[in-house]
Amino acid sequence: MEFANKEYFILLVLLIPYIIWYLLYRKKSEPTMRVSTTAAYRNAPISWRQRIIHAPMVLRCLCFAMVVCVLARPQTHNAWDSKSVEGIDIMLVMDVSTSMLAEDLKPNRLEAAKNVAAEFISGRPNDNIGLTIFAGESFTQCPMTTDHASLLSLLGGVRTDIAARGIISDGTAIGMGLANAVSRLKDSKAKSKVIILLTDGSNNMGDISPMTSAEIAKSMGIRVYTIAVGTNKVAPYPVPVAGGVQYVNMPVEIDTKTLANIAFTTNGNAYRATNNSELKQIYKDIDVLEKTKMDVKRFSKRYEAYQPFAIAAFVLLLMEIMLKLTVLRRIP
């Protein structure tokens, strides 16, 4: 409930001088009688009429407060929204080759990429998002879906050991990973189609070159954002040895030129992330660039709600009059 004319509540301040006047006037207006001693009246019982002697004044104050509420115009309203959401179709393409185990990003490149991608997915509830992973080969880990809980579960299950265990061949087939994502978006009816490609190497496997995939993406109106992840020069890489793990500084070889050309060809952007904070900021920048369009129309209808206050004021006034004419009636 809202009040259209809240300024009328200032009138309630008038109750303060009225109450003071009432208390002072009552003492002067009451009849008095002089007696030699009041001992006989000290233990006299108090009648119920004496207990409600101030009831008319209290009812009068409450009645005045109700009248002020009526003047303030209490209102209720019904409001509803009309939303028109236009989602974006996004494919995340993630490198899972064994080089993603390098620990220049913490805890390693792959886990850092998964954590940031999970935040990105959680922040876009209205979009269709899918996941493609690649090493020497590529496959779709999760087709595009709005069931982001399932997508996050499948993202959490991504590991680099699929290449180490020979499930797919190791290497970096950027062109194949990109082509796989493009094939998932080719039948999309969305106005905005986006691929976010993350890798830490250069294309050394696969039958399709990265630029060929980029040209196909361009012809289908798909924007590609590329992210090259890894420090410059060398990065610590864990190598299993007898009794533990030994870290070896491996050279970082990222084909940033090809990644930049892919982004330029498809009207996307190319990014470079050398630490966790830069990677997180890149996903935030992409999130800002690819906003979901939403048209919101708000409707509201107001209803006057003074009737309960007016009825309460009338009942209180009637109760005061009845008390004065009956049990609290004064004889002139």
Span 49-82, pLDDT tens digits? 777 778 888 888 999 999 999 999 888 877 666 6
Cβ atoms of 95 and 135 within 8 Å: the answer is yes
**Position 302 confidence tier, pLDDT thresholds 50, 70, 90:** confident
Percent of the chain at pLDDT > 90 equals 49
**Whether residue 210 has a cis bond before it, omega within 30° of 0:** no
Domains of the chain, residue spans: 1-14+49-80+307-332, 88-291
Estimate the share of the chain in helix, then strand, then coil, as percent rounded to the nearest 5. 45, 25, 30
Between CA 172 and CA 199 the distance in angstroms is: 8
Count other C-beta atoms under 10 Å from residue 255's C-beta.
18
Q: Would you call 139 helix, strand, or coil by DSSP?
A: strand
Locate tokens 């008319």: which residue?
56
Res. 162: pLDDT tops 80 = no
Please give the sequence-ordered ranges of beta strands (E in DSSP) within the chain, or none if there are none. Answer: 2-3, 74-86, 89-95, 128-134, 138-145, 193-199, 222-229, 234-241, 244-251, 270-273, 293-304
Pairwise CA distance, residues 271 & 267, whole Å: 13
Task: Using a cut of 0.85, tell me whether the model's pTM lies above it.
Answer: no
Given the candidates 3.40.50.410, 3.20.20.70, 3.40.440.10, 3.30.360.10, the CATH classification of the domain at 88-291 is 3.40.50.410
